[in-house]
Amino acid sequence: MCNLVTLNSSTDEVASHFKARRPKATNASTGEVYPGGQGFIVRTDAGERVAQAMTWGFPVRLKGMKPTSKPKPVNNARDDKLLTPFWKHWFTTPVYRCLIPFTSFAEAEGEKGKMTRTWIGVADQPLAAWAGLWRPTDEWGDCYTGVMVDATDELWDIHDRMPVILHPDEHDAWLNCPAEDALALLRKYPASKLAVSRTAEPWFKPKFKISDSPTLL
């Protein structure tokens, strides 16, 4: 599960790189993004690419939650679940697919209570795109989520799943192609092109509340 990404490029750099219209004014900024927080995506609108700030995670109310409880952010979508009712409409309708620009993503390593951040970047793409889905919601406005696949063998000691990292020549296809063709894009990115950086940074920092931890469907 990917619960933390960072984007080091400015919004103007993101828009230029992905040939997208600049976003509307927003309080969102680049840097670290947590589930339930504001991040940037690139989607299509009337045939044009648009960069937009959205909340990371589809809202969901789990069984047993109180009606007054806040929804949980479903921040990752499993590739083998995309044709289930929760995801199917958003995946099979091309306009609801998006690109999630990122510099690197983080996974937690170590013993419980002492976990540290391991950052994984894309060596051949300093600014890369994670295959995502987006949708409008009543709870949080427009929201997005990222698609996950089984991790490459070399990363299994870190985590058993990884984001679907698209090659630049796959961006248009992901945003526009039929669902059966989009399924073919859901594959592992070569480990030889990934850069792993283990750090001493604690996984949980004060601004991230464990009670707000995300959900994977």
Per-residue pLDDT of 69-123, as tens digits, reads 889 999 999 999 999 999 999 999 999 999 999 999 999 999 988 999 999 999 9
Domain 5-216, CATH class in plain words: alpha beta
Residues contacting 213, CB < 8 A, separation 6+ = 3, 35
Length of the chain: 217
Question: Burial letters for 157-188: b for 16+ Cβ neighbours within 10 Å, e otherwise?
Answer: ebbebbbbbbeeebbebbbebeeeebeebbeb
- Please tell me whether the overall predicted TM-score, pTM, comes out greater than 0.95 for this model: no
Per-residue pLDDT of 141-165, as tens digits, reads 999 999 999 999 999 999 999 999 9
Could you say which DSSP state residue 27 is in?
Answer: S
The residue extents of the domains of the chain are: 5-216
